[in-house]
Structure 1
Amino acid sequence: NLGLEVMDVVNLRIMFGALGPAEGSIEAQVTKLAELQRKGLVRHIGLSNVTRAQIAEGRKICKIVCVQNQYNLAHRDDDALIDELARDGIAYVPFFPLGGF
């Protein structure tokens, strides 16, 4: 439908919690995306609305290129995570960076 042969980046948004990231296994979903990547349909895989444990779980399955969580002046819980991801060469892409409230 998009007229593309390959998606450059697909962010898998995890919705286990209504108010933000919540624990739960993402193995099945990431495995499916990794299969699409091996078929050449997805170039890069990112995660959205995830916990540290979910990022680690995803990284065991495939290379994760970016993480997108809520981050702004009021929600800065990911400060340490941003530093960890930067050290590992993983981009952090905030959503609602200007507040969203």
Structure 2
Amino acid sequence: MVIISGTITLHPGQREAFLMASRTAIEAARQVEGCNWFVVSADPIDPDIANVYEEWASEAELQSFRNEGPSEDMQRLIATANVQRHFVAKSAPA
């Protein structure tokens, strides 16, 4: 399993635009085989942060979905991003 997680800091006042622009990718990802979950959400404390969480069955399925990342329009909304890829060998219920 591959997990993509992290935070995206947006230019002030751009979070809602970013979340709305992310909706197309979220809907598309959730229809792809191998995507267990994909969400981009508003941070409940910082008004300029969006949280990212993706869960994929494999690296191959993640890569088959990915293009080249956010569009240029979305890139303009982003100040910085701290998003990491995690490779999970084993998981169990919490």
Q: Which of the pair is proportionally richer in strand?
A: 2
Q: Determine which structure has greater relative contact order: mean sequence separation of CA pairs < 8 Å that are 6+ residues apart, divided by chain length.
A: 2
TM-score by length of 2: 0.28
TM-score by length of 1: 0.27
